[in-house]
Amino acid sequence: MTKISWGVLSTARIGLDKVIPAMQKGEYSEVTAIASRDYSKAKNAAEKLEIPRAYGSYEDLLKDKEIQAVYIPLPNHLHVEWTLKSLKAGKHVLCEKPITMNYNDALYLQKEIKKFPGLKVMEAFMYRFHPQWRKIKSLIDEGAIGTLKNIHSMFSYYNVNPKDIRNQADIGGGGLLDIGCYCINFSRFIFNNEPESVYGAIEYDPMLKIDRLVSGVLNFNLNDKSGEKGTATFTCSTQLAYNQGAEIFGTEGKIKVEIPFTPMPDQSAKIIYQGGENTIVTKFDPCDQYTFQGDQFSLSIIDNADVPTPFEDAVSNMRVIQSIFDYASNKKHQ
């Protein structure tokens, strides 16, 4: 079976530790080149991960005619620039979330992408490819929890290192862009709808200037005729004890997701369904959602099919993120 030849722009830790090793296990993907602005870093990474070619610049990798697709784990402020440069070089693009730093940039990128109809572009929300979410969606679609009414999620860690890119506000650091985006994306994914309004409260670090504690409420319209509503609430933080979790509540049951976003590939993920007097625990065989993500994107190239998550979803997610920033700063919001 044909495999797509991938190049990776940068030696970012997420790529080296998680994404590249996972994609190398894929049925339809293989990483054949990696680039860094420091050639020695690219060479060391290539040797460690058994990647055939290393480049001392991103431009050189994009000139490689054998590369069909690129994975971009660069800092957030570089996503638009290198997505467009990759497309102009004729490469398909899988770009780390968030696809941009603000809503206007997302709209601009959406417009520019349309100039390359033969190329695929997708935002890398890898959690969607874990089998636990197919099970959760099927439970909801089957009516196991009755009418979906509320979702609550939490994602936090503690990091005050000023040298960490996640703590550098000018290049897209902060909690909402780094981890809160998962809570928003997951809420939209489960409701299968866009919120009609949002509210948010943000605390900024006085020294780092990044958003370190964010809580948000997303309001969904469930039924125009009846006026029935649903809500999603979340909290994310870069300066709290580590935690992640999600609960989905309906009129007749609920689902608890132990590790919604980053389940370990060598451990079983678990969801707990409760409805009436029934409690059902479902465990999933260890698997790597990054492998599934790479394979599904590669397969869309091989089959010339739509990518699993259309770019419009990335724009919609950024619209909600921007609305929370705007609401918290008393600007115009949804």
Domains plus CATH for the chain? Answer: 4-126+291-308 (3.40.50.720), 131-286 (3.30.360.10)
Q: How confident is the model at residue 240 (pLDDT cuts 50, 70, 90)?
A: very high
Cα(64)–Cα(89) distance, integer angstroms: 9
pTM of the model: 0.95
Residue 217 to residues 52, 67, 94, 191, Cα–Cα distance (Å): 47, 42, 29, 14
Q: How confident is the model at residue 329 (pLDDT cuts 50, 70, 90)?
A: confident
| Cα 172 from chain centre | 15
Least confident of 22-31, 58-67, 82-91, 321-330: 321-330
Q: What is the structure's pLDDT at 334?
A: 43
**Using an 8 Å Cβ cutoff, are 67 and 5 in contact?**
yes
Tens digits of per-residue pLDDT, 147-176?
A: 999 999 999 999 999 999 999 999 999 999
Q: What is the structure's pLDDT at 191?
A: 96
Cα(294)–Cα(290) distance, integer angstroms: 6
Q: What is the structure's pLDDT at 333?
A: 41
pLDDT at 55 over 60: yes
Mean pLDDT over the full length of the chain: 96
Average pLDDT over residues 208-228: 91
Q: How confident is the model at residue 223 (pLDDT cuts 50, 70, 90)?
A: confident
Average pLDDT over residues 5-15: 94
DSSP single-letter state for residue 221: E
Average pLDDT over residues 20-34: 97
